[in-house]
Chain A
Amino acid sequence: MMPERELKKRSSASRQDEGDVAASAGAPPEAATAARQGERIKADLDDLLDEIDEVLEDNAEEFIRGYVQKGGE
């Protein structure tokens, strides 16, 4: 568990840095903001994928096969 938590912290720290850069550049036009936001989201996804193997259940094949629910409602 410990390494996961550290990774997560690091990714939120890098988000923070980017936010500061955006702030110091003044108020950019809307299109540029959107583009920057898109880049930031991509970077976040990259961070998540870097650690994805630690987060995903070990045996996906077996786990998915075993996830059977009764209908409800």
Chain B
Amino acid sequence: MAIAKICGTETEYGLRMLPPGDHNPVSISSLLVSSYVDEVQRQIDWDFEDESPGNDARGFSLESAMAPAVEAHLLNAVLANGSRYYVDHAHPELSTPECTDALELVRYDKAGEAILRRSMDAARRVLHEGASIVVYKNNSDGKGNSYGCHENYLMARSVPFAQIVHHVVPHFVSRQIFTGAGKIGSEARWWDRAEQAPHFQISQRADFFEEIVGLETTLKRPIVNTRDEPHADPQRYRRLHVIVGDANLSEVSTYLKVASTAIVLAMIEDGFFGEMDLTVENPVQAMHDVSADLELAKSFRLVSGRTVTALGIQWELLQLAKKYAAERGLDCVGGEERGSDALARWERTLELLEQDPSSLSRQLDWVAKLELLEAYRDRTGASWQDRRLAMLDLQYHDLRPERSLFARLDMERLTSDEDVDRAVREPPRGTRAWFRGTCLSRWPTQIVSANWDSLVFDVGSDPLRRVPMMDPLKGTADQVGALVAQAATPAELLRLLSE
């Protein structure tokens, strides 16, 4: 049985300082993060001891990969809900805590947006009168610069990496039809003539993918990223770092993106694909074609000689997943109830995409945005090149409540405001994030540093005490809740933990 598909997202947000001027994006990002941290929470220094983003899953280390020390000086905080909030390159980035299933991750992904929204308010109080920082949850500036929304999934180390690549690429090429956040135009170089480029495409990110497998995340981006940095016991675990996805505002899009991928990965881990081979002949080309095909009709060739559409691949994956659920159960994706709900939602979405994609305009980001743009064009006669259309596109992703177009579209919710508010304050209960977040809440001044896989306590006497958390499944509320409640001080906690 596959191990629990513990999952999380890391989102880099777009930024704009108003009024416009010659602003340094790193400074703006830092100001945004620090305003929030200062106002809401004491900053905890991040512990870089176990970070090695240059390690390659294929078994070698890239010398030129950025050393963690380079970014160590930048602002970095761990929050009481177990997430990490920091400045990465020139963007504020929020990594959710480790979650046990897709629905829980939707809540924490939305909590991330809420934290960025509160950061905008906090920054406004720090900035001089009339100045503000605006945050966008999107993936591109429309000028060829992209920033990511990455997903992470826990996998057993025993699964050969080549097996993962083999079976997950067809999913990544085709899942865009429900994960896409939509965008006007194209930023790719491969359209021979400008008029060949799509006026609107399904994915924000597809334009930026040029390889099938690789370690890069900032240029020549690969469909499968090989970063091998498990933040856990490397003998047992792998963290699959997924960089192909769009940043979704729609809860349904995020839910389907994570749930479908978790199930596909569980099936890979359990060898459930058997003889089934969906290997795409030219995955990079197919990725671009799927994104540009708003009718979802275009087919591409598989290595087996068959031709399929993106929808066709998704149907085959779903059928396999239903068989998997019946034979192996869904414990690894949050249990039967959660898993079955995800499968039903996946199936209904494929049915509706097949019948009429526009019927999903309250569920999927790209459909909602396309419908809004078309309605605006009908009313005003604006061409696809009209800047007002580009403004609508950008403002779909604007996190300010008074400017967000997404917020005005009455999209289907899977969470409540109370769920999201709780997720801003409290960690998930079913992973080590519970221990991290709870300790940070209880003893903020006695934790000198925190990382995904460790906490360092200052118990008042030398030396500092480091608590390793090498298993993402340990440190849950059920496992250590009583013990943490019983401890009056970190020193007592450490004593109880070692008994």
**Residues of chain A at the chain B interface (Cβ within 8 Å):** 1, 4, 8, 15, 34, 38, 41-42, 44-46, 48-49, 52, 55-57, 60-64, 66-73
Contacts and interface: CB of A to CB of B under 8 A. Distances in A.
Contacts of B402: 1, 4, 55
Nearest to B14: A69
Nearest to A71: B145
Given A64-B142, A64-B390, A44 B410 contact: yes
Interface of B: 12, 14-16, 20, 25, 88-91, 93, 140-143, 145-148, 150, 217-219, 243, 359, 361-362, 371-372, 375-376, 379, 387-388, 390-392, 394-395, 402-403, 405, 408-410
A65 B408 CA distance: 25
A33 B165 CA distance: 42
Nearest to B391: A60
A72 B12 contact: yes
B141 A68 contact: yes
- Pick the most buried of B141, B146, B362: most chain A CB atoms within 10 A of its CB: B141
B88 A67 contact: no
Nearest to A38: B359
Q: Which 3 residue pairs of A and B lie closest in terms of their CB atoms, listed nearest first?
A: A72-B147, A70-B90, A60-B391
A72 B372 contact: no
Contacts of B361: 41
Contact of A55 (B14, B143, B403): B403
B218 A72 contact: yes
A40 to B, nearest CB: 9
Contact of A49 (B20, B142, B148, B376): B376
B29 to A, nearest CB: 10
Contacts, number: 101
Contacts of B392: 52, 56
15 contacts: A41-B371, A42-B375, A44-B409, A45-B372, A49-B376, A56-B391, A62-B20, A64-B142, A64-B391, A69-B140, A69-B147, A71-B145, A72-B147, A72-B148, A73-B218
Nearest to B144: A71
Contacts of A4: 402
B394 A48 contact: no
A53 to B, nearest CB: 9
Nearest to A56: B391
Contacts of B391: 56-57, 60, 63-64
Contacts of A41: 361-362, 371
A55 to B, nearest CB: 6
B372 A69 contact: no
A72 B146 CA distance: 6
Contact of B359 (A34, A68, A73): A34
Nearest to A47: B408
Given A55-B403, A55-B405, A73-B150, A64 B394 contact: yes
Given A45-B371, A48-B408, A70 B89 contact: yes
Contacts of B16: 66-67
Given A55-B395, A72-B89, A73-B89, 16 more contacts: A8-B408, A44-B410, A48-B408, A49-B376, A52-B392, A57-B391, A57-B395, A67-B14, A67-B394, A68-B141, A69-B90, A71-B147, A72-B12, A72-B218, A73-B12, A73-B88
Contact of A67 (B142, B148, B371, B376): B142
Contacts of A60: 387-388, 390-391
B391 to A, nearest CB: 4
A47 to B, nearest CB: 9
Contacts of B147: 69-73
Contacts of A45: 371-372, 375
Contacts of A67: 14, 16, 141-142, 394
Contact of B141 (A1, A49, A52, A69): A69
B409 A48 contact: yes
A42 B391 CA distance: 21
A69 B403 contact: no
A6 to B, nearest CB: 13
Given A68-B141, A71-B147, A61 B25 contact: no
A4 B392 CA distance: 17
B12 A56 contact: no
Given A60-B387, A70-B91, A71-B146, A15 B410 contact: yes
A41 B387 CA distance: 25
A56 to B, nearest CB: 5
A66 B20 contact: yes
A73 B387 contact: no
Contacts of B12: 72-73
A16 to B, nearest CB: 12
Contacts of B379: 49
A1 to B, nearest CB: 6
B390 A68 contact: no
B89 A71 contact: yes
Contacts of B376: 49, 52
Contacts of B405: 48, 55
Contacts of A46: 375
